Every structure is written in structure tokens, then in C-alpha cells.
């Protein structure tokens, strides 16, 4: 078991929960499976839609498949609630498939962290909405969402 701390650490305050959510968003927008996996415990457990991942190696495999399929992926996460070592978020991401069909995927996640700030459990529910290219709202260059880009609430999502 790792003793490496990944701040902010629980118990979360509103400010530290907001920071944790933004750090998670930034990581996922990197689309780097190995880097993203380091935010999770070695024995992390996930449910993502109807798929289950157990441990970092399976998380890397899952994310590699995901970002090979979901092209030009851009994600926005928003804090919904927090308590102790748990955070709930809502999010939306836009992407297209290899045929050029665009989607906006909406979801909610429940996160549980260990004392080192690593996520030990992640449960995600997601729905995909087909959109046209002109309905896209996430237009920043691939990578981290700029600080001045509106969040979900500001976009009316």
C-alpha cells in the first residue's frame, strides 16, 4: 500500500473538495491513462456504466480503450456534494467517434478516498446524447480547460 499523499486530503472542506474535483478534471482532460491511474489506490474499485475495473492496471486498460473510442474528448466536472472522505460530482464531456458523430455524455460520480487522498472507489452513471458539431459547447484546445471557460452551471448544463 502506498503512503504517498495526493493532496488535498480528507476530510474535505468546500475549498479542498472543489480543488480535488478540478484536479480530477485536469487529469482526465490529459487523456493519459497512466497519469490518471496514479490518482487511485492500487486496489481501486470502479463501476463505469456496466463495466467494472479493479486495480490500477485495469483502470489503465479501461481508459486506454475509452480514449481510443472517444476522440477529441473534453470534460467539465462540477462539485455536487462532499462529506468526510467522499465527494459527489456531476459532469459532462463532449467527444466524437471515428465516423465523426458527436456526443455529449452526462454523468454523476461518487468518489471515496483513503487517508492519503487516493480514490479507492469510483461509481459512475453516464448517459450519451447525440449532438451535431454546431451544438458543441466545449471548444478549448485539447488538454486542461482554461480557467476562464464556463463551467456546467454557467453553460446551462
Three-state DSSP string of 7-40:
CCCCCCCHHHHHHHHHHHHHHHHHCCHHHHHCCE
How much is the pTM?
0.96
Domains: count for the chain:
1
* pLDDT tens, residue by residue, 14-47: 999 999 999 999 999 999 999 999 999 999 999 9
The CATH number of the domain holding residue 87 is: 3.10.450.50
Asked whether residue 49 is domain-assigned, the answer is: yes
83 phi, psi to nearest 5 deg: -165, 125
Alpha-carbon distance of 46 to 41, in angstroms, equals 11
The predicted pLDDT at position 4 comes to 87
Asked whether residue 30 is domain-assigned, the answer is: yes
Asked whether residue 6 is domain-assigned, the answer is: no
Host domain of residue 61: 14-135
* pLDDT tens, residue by residue, 44-99: 999 999 999 999 999 999 999 999 999 999 999 999 999 999 999 999 999 999 99
* pLDDT tens, residue by residue, 91-103: 999 999 999 999 9
Amino acid at each position: 500500500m502506498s503512503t504517498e499523499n495526493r493532496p488535498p486530503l480528507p476530510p474535505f472542506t468546500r475549498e479542498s473538495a472543489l480543488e480535488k474535483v478540478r484536479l480530477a478534471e485536469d487529469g482526465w482532460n490529459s487523456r493519459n491513462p497512466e497519469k490518471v491511474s496514479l490518482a487511485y489506490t492500487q486496489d481501486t474499485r470502479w463501476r463505469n456504466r456496466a463495466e467494472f475495473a479493479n486495480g490500477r492496471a485495469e483502470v489503465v486498460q479501461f481508459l486506454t480503450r475509452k480514449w481510443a473510442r472517444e476522440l477529441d474528448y473534453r470534460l467539465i466536472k462540477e462539485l455536487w456534494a462532499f462529506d468526510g472522505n467522499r465527494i459527489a460530482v456531476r459532469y459532462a464531456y463532449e467527444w466524437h467517434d471515428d465516423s465523426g458523430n458527436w456526443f455529449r455524455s452526462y454523468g454523476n460520480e461518487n468518489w471515496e478516498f483513503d487517508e492519503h487522498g487516493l480514490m479507492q472507489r469510483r461509481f459512475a452513471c453516464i448517459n450519451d446524447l447525440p449532438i451535431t458539431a454546431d451544438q458543441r459547447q466545449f471548444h478549448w484546445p485539447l488538454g486542461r480547460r482554461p480557467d476562464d471557460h464556463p463551467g456546467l452551471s454557467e453553460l446551462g448544463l
